[in-house]
Amino acid sequence: MKRGAILYVLGEEYINNGEDLEDVGKRLNIDADMIEVVSSMDKNFDVMYAWWFLTAKGMKSITCLAAELVDHTKIKLTGRELRLCG
């Protein structure tokens, strides 16, 4: 079963410093085949859109992980997690 993850970054806007999402997932030990990042400041891309996108890509189990920024560039998980089902 394919597994997806949504990283919902709380607080300041997440600015990708060129780090690949696969690298972010490995660094945070996220067990997922595909990862999408959603910033709390992003007006055009939200959790529902990320869920739809991952579902359209064939993910059968999707987890939404709350995260926060450290030093404006590094993502750190907060420990809060939601499982989103299709």
The pTM score is 0.82
Q: What is the pLDDT of residues 18-74, one digit of tens each?
A: 667 667 788 889 989 999 988 767 666 788 999 999 999 999 999 999 988 887 777
pLDDT value of residue 14: 61
One-character DSSP codes across 45-77: --HHHHHHHHHHTT-SEEEEEEEEEETTTEEEE
Report d(CA 83, CA 14) in Å as an integer: 22
* Phi/psi of residue 55, nearest 5 degrees: -65, -45
d(CA 77, CA 68): 6
Domain coordinates in residue numbering, the chain: 3-85
pLDDT band at 83 (very low <50, low <70, confident <90, very high): confident
